[in-house]
Structure formats: C-alpha cells, structure tokens
Structure 1
Amino acid sequence: MRQLNVFREAGPGAGYRGGVIAICAVLLCCVEVTPAPSSQSLPAPALDRGEPITPIPAAPAIAPLKVALGEKLFGDPRLSHDDSRTCQDCHDVATNGATQKRHDVGPDGTELSLNTLTVFNSTLSFRLGWEGKFRTVETDIDASLESPHTMGSSAAEIAAKLDADPDMRDRFQAAYGRRPEGDDVIDALASFQRTLVTPGSRFDRWLQGDEAALSADQLDGYRLFKSLGCSACHQGVNVGGNLYERHGIFQPLASPEPKILRVPSLRNVATTPPYFHDGSAPTLDDAVRKMAQAQLNATLTDRQAKALVAFLNSLTGIYRGSPVGGSP
C-alpha cells in the first residue's frame, strides 16, 4: 500500500475537488516528478474516460537473447558472493514478484529493514526502491548485487564466475558478441526485468472499453478511491510510483523511518501481502483501514473497506497467460 497525504477543506460543501487542489499545491512545492526513461514503452491506447489511471502497456521489444540470458541469470546462485541465493529467492516471478514474508533475510540470516517490493512493473516507476534512491533499473541492480544485505558480490566478480562456464560463455557470445563482462551481466538482468509487466487486469480492460470487466463493488470502490483522494498519489500507468510522500499524517501508520517514501505502485497489490514498508499490515482490508485513519483522519465503514478492497483486486494483471499470484 501507499503513503497518501491528503489535506481536505473543513466545513459544509468541502469535498474531493478542494482536497485535490490542496494536495496538488503541496506536491508542486515538494515533489520532483521526472518522465520515465525513454527505454520504457508508452501506455497502450485507452478509451478517453478522463481517468487518472492508464492501462499497462505490453512488454517492450528487447533482443530475445538478452532477455533469455537475463532470466537465466535471475535464477543463478552465482550472482551471490557465496553462491547461496538468487534474485528469484526474494522476487518470485512464479507468484507475486516478491515473497509472502514481512521481511526477507540477508546472507547472514539477518532480517532486511524494509519489506520486499514486487519486481513486477517496477520499471514503470520513476524511481526504484522504497526510498526511491535509484533512477534506473541498472543502478538498482548494481546496488543489489553489491549490497552485503543481498548478494554481497559485484558485476565483475559474477562475470568472472560465468566466464568459467562454457555454456554461459556461449550465451553471452550469442547475446553480446563477447565473453561475459560486468556491464553485460547488469544489462541482461535489466532487459529481463523490463519485460516483467503485467497488462490485462480487469481494471485495464474496463479502461479500454470493456464495460463488463468490473463488478458493481469494484466500480463503487474505484469511485470511492477517487472521492477520498487516493488517486492524487496513486495514478498513472503504475497506480503510483511517480512521486514521494510522507506517511503518518494524522496518526502513525507503520514504522516511523524512513519518513519520506516513494509512493508504491498498487498494481497486483492484492497478491503482495503483507503491506507497508515494514510489512506490518497482514491483509488488504487491514491496510486500507489503517491508511484511511493515518492519512485521511477517516474511519472507513465495513462497506467502504469492502469496496476499496474489491477495486484493488481488479488491479491484478496477467503474466505469461496467467493472473499474477494465481488470483481470479
């Protein structure tokens, strides 16, 4: 779930329009928003509904040999210094692109400080990671390879390991025209990660004109999502991921640090419990209720919470012909 800062006018007649104007005024003063890298594909055409969310595009066209190599490396334990762990261990693309753990663990068994974000659709966000420290997928990958809390290795060390494997030498030669090099290791992983997009959600189908794609509860939830002001921070192709926000406006939401976070994407959110940067919300129902209290100073009714959860379930997309996480 995201961190939403909503300021609403007091008194009779105050509503969604006034709240959004106040939000926009604050965001213009404190948020830097930059265009997505040109290497990312643009959103698919959609019915002009005037909605704040746009459909996820198909995966970009990238050299198939590089993508195939990146996928193989994603599951290769030689990416870790001690050959004990893979990218797939914490970012399971066979399920939700992450894990079901509150905190994954590092090579020494110590829990990581932040909940693992899904790798699905990550390259559609303007920054990567909870704190948005990385501007490109390549810098994010390089940092993960070098961090002692994840792989504890380096691209150069990994390339040297792979160069000793005749099969991998052949794969790199076919994809890059040379033996394994550190930059090519990162590029192959980035090429694969850019294909991890999940178009075709029920909500995207509705955006593209399929009026029957959403249930009545899901439509009600979407209307509430907008009227409460959630879409002020969760909009665009990734339903978030394109600005920073402070959490715990009216009351504490989760762990107090980091205070400022990159607003996470809500794509496939129904498949990625637990929620928040510290993984402290075990269910989507719990998460939306806590968000309303902490960020809106509002207590949701059971009906409102149910409707919001129904809408969020409509954001589950398709990867390789199946819904992410096996959700209906």
Structure 2
Amino acid sequence: MSGFAPTSIVLDFLRRRHVVAICVLVLSGLQPSQAPPQPAPPVRLHWHGGDEPITPMPSAPALDPRKVKLGERLFSDARLSRDNSRSCSSCHDIGTNGASTKRRDIGLDGKELPLNTLTVFNATHNFRFGWDGRYRSVEADVTASLVSPRIMGSNLAAIAEKLDLDPAMRVGFLAAYGRGPDAGDIVDALASFEKTLVTPGSRFDRWLAGDKTALSPEELNGYREFKSLGCASCHQGVNIGGNLFQRHGIFYPLASPDPVILRVPSLRNVATTAPYFHDGSAPTLDDAVRKMGKSQLNATLTDSQVKAIVAFLHSLTGQYRGAQVGGEP
C-alpha cells in the first residue's frame, strides 16, 4: 500500500451502512511544524493511472529460463517428499486452479490438514504467504512446505542427495547454477517457477485496460456492488486481496474460529477455487458471498446482489499459457 503521504491515514470504507474495515498506517519520524494546522485533503486511492481499487495483472517476469524450467520439473517431482509419495503439484494442480478441489488436503499422516489449500497462481503478488501470513517471501514459503512434517516431511539436504543420484537432474542443475543439486538452488529453482505462475488476461483486466465491451451489464453491476458494499476495502490491488491482514467473523461467525487473524486471500481466479474460506466450509461462490456479507458487513444480501457479485467474480478468471484457468468458459 505504497504511495501515501507521510502522515497518519485512516481509510474508512463506509459506503452505505456499515464500517467494513479500517486500516491505519502510521509513518514515524515526522517533525512538528510551526505553521498553523491545515485541514487534511481528502484521501483518494490512485492505482497506476486510474481511480479503480483494482489494477491489471502484469505478465510473468522475465527470469532465467533454465531456472524456471528446472523449477517446473522439481514442482512435479515426488522425490521432494520424505517418502517419495507426493510432489508440490499433488496439492497445487497447475493444470486446473493451482490448488485442489478438496475441502482440505490430506497430510503425510493420512489426516486432513488444518487449512484449505491456497492456489499457487498469482501467489507471488501477495505481501505475505500462507493463511496466517507468517512467511515473507516465496522462498520462505517453499522451504516451509518442504520441511513441514505433515506436508512434504523432508529436509533440503536429503532432497539434494536424492536428486544428485539422477544424471538428468545433475545436468539440469549444472546448466542453471553451474553445480549439482544444492539445498539453496532447489529452493531458488522452485521459487523461480512459482514467480512465473501469474494469470493475466481476465475479462476484468481487459475492462480495466479500456475494453468497455469486456464485461456484461450484470458483471458491471456486480463490480459496483462489490465497491459500494465495501468488499474492495480488503480485496483490492493487483491481486484483489493478499495485501493486508483482517479479522474474520466481525459481526457473525464465518467459519472455523482459528486462526482469528488471516491474510486476506486473493480473489484472482476465485470462480475456479471452490471450496472457500480457510476451512473450506463454503462449497460455492454463492454461499461464500452470502456468508461474507453477513459476517463481515452485517448485511443480508439480496438474491440480485449475490447474483451480480458472483457474476463479477467470474470475470476475474485469468489465463495461464494461453488457456483460461480451470477451464472457465
């Protein structure tokens, strides 16, 4: 949330009836002025040349193609797990939605993981990683998954040893890094690949870029509702979320009570990533929108409001390698 003047700012997104969220940014180091106090100018959000709270998804960054190719190979390599039973793609299916269709995926111990699997698509644009936002970089998130006892259950040294026994892998690492498989290079290659997993080209992105025919009247109405109700107070920016923390269940319980504070998820490709919420308890977008309205806005949304917002959310599906994510029409 850069670009604000160095002062204390309270963004109050009271649109109609309810205060949805308040973000307070305080930058220290201001010196007291001797001039008489002046009224603060109205705060306006500007995103790359426009007043919309959402900005288009950029194309994938230009990274070393050898590292990206190696990272893609590693992403689907089951040797990254302790018992060679699963790979990153076991839970993050790049061929569909970058996640899975399960309420919660199954851990190495055969039991459900505590949280719903987040999509890996566009994750690089989040300001923190994971539902609780404990990781600050793609590399830290990758490492945590590899060593987690319930996810991959391995360690980087053991992974490097297994990969070093594979002549083809040694060739791939030599081409990308000038040496054989190494713990740091394994993480770097996976992170390089994940940084390319962006999905620009949604119909909403086309509308933002000036194509006024890209959205239907109902989708535009849904976007207006999305903003006026206050959804955009938490879901904004390039990832339509992913850039702040928020408490869930503000007015009414939303889902499982823990964790209380969550990193706001991205709504990019949200129509493809059911089920919803951190516990996977909302099976459909319709259900999720209604529950969010009640829990976070203290509003009982009408059927027409829900239908329009869901229509708008479908316009957020982008493209990966020339095809729409999740096979969306």
- TM-score, normalised by the number of residues in structure 1: 0.88
Show the counterpart of 1:39.
none
Show the counterpart of 1:60.
61
Q: Map of 1:228-267 to 2, 5 A cutoff?
A: 228-267=229-268
Superimposed CA distance per residue, residues 226-264 of structure 1 (whole angstroms, 9 cap, x where no aligned partner) = 000100110000000000000001110000000000000
Q: Could you list the runs of 4 or more consecutive aligned residues of structure 1 that deviate by over 6 angstroms after TM superposition?
A: none
**How far 1:155 sits from its partner (Å)?**
1.5
Show the counterpart of 1:197.
198
Q: Distance in 2 between matches of 1:48 and 1:142?
A: 37
Alignment check: 8 A CA contact 1:79 1:145 kept: yes
Q: Distance in 2 between matches of 1:214 and 1:69?
A: 38
**How far 1:27 sits from its partner (Å)?**
1.6
Amino acid at match of 1:284: L
Show the counterpart of 2:80.
79
**How far 1:48 sits from its partner (Å)?**
3.9
Between the two proteins, what is the percent identity of the paired residues? 66
Amino acid at match of 2:161: A
Show the counterpart of 2:23.
27
**Which runs of no fewer than 5 residues in structure 1 stay unpaired?**
1-5, 9-14, 31-45
Amino acid at match of 2:289: V
Alignment check: 8 A CA contact 1:115 1:279 kept: yes
Higher relative CO (Cα under 8 Å, sequence separation at least 6) belongs to: 1
What value does the CA root-mean-square deviation take over the aligned residues?
1.8
- Report the CA distance shift for 1:56/1:316 in structure 2 as closer, same or farther (over 3 A): same
Q: Map of 1:113-124 to 2, 5 A cutoff?
A: 113-124=114-125
Superimposed CA distance per residue, residues 151-197 of structure 1 (whole angstroms, 9 cap, x where no aligned partner) = 00011111111011111001000000001100000000000000000
Q: Distance in 2 between matches of 1:81 and 1:190?
A: 20
Q: Map of 1:98-177 to 2, 5 A cutoff?
A: 98-177=99-178
Amino acid at match of 1:262: R
Show the counterpart of 2:33.
none
- Report the CA distance shift for 1:256/1:204 in structure 2 as closer, same or farther (over 3 A): same
Alignment check: 8 A CA contact 1:47 1:208 kept: no
Alignment check: 8 A CA contact 2:18 2:297 kept: no
Amino acid at match of 1:147: S
- TM-score, normalised by the number of residues in structure 2: 0.88
**How far 1:7 sits from its partner (Å)?**
7.9
Show the counterpart of 1:282.
283
Q: Distance in 1 between matches of 2:322 and 2:264?
A: 28
Q: Distance in 1 between matches of 2:296 and 2:185?
A: 43
Q: Distance in 1 between matches of 2:288 and 2:242?
A: 18
Alignment check: 8 A CA contact 2:115 2:279 kept: yes
Show the counterpart of 1:218.
219
Q: Distance in 1 between matches of 2:155 and 2:217?
A: 51
Amino acid at match of 1:277: H
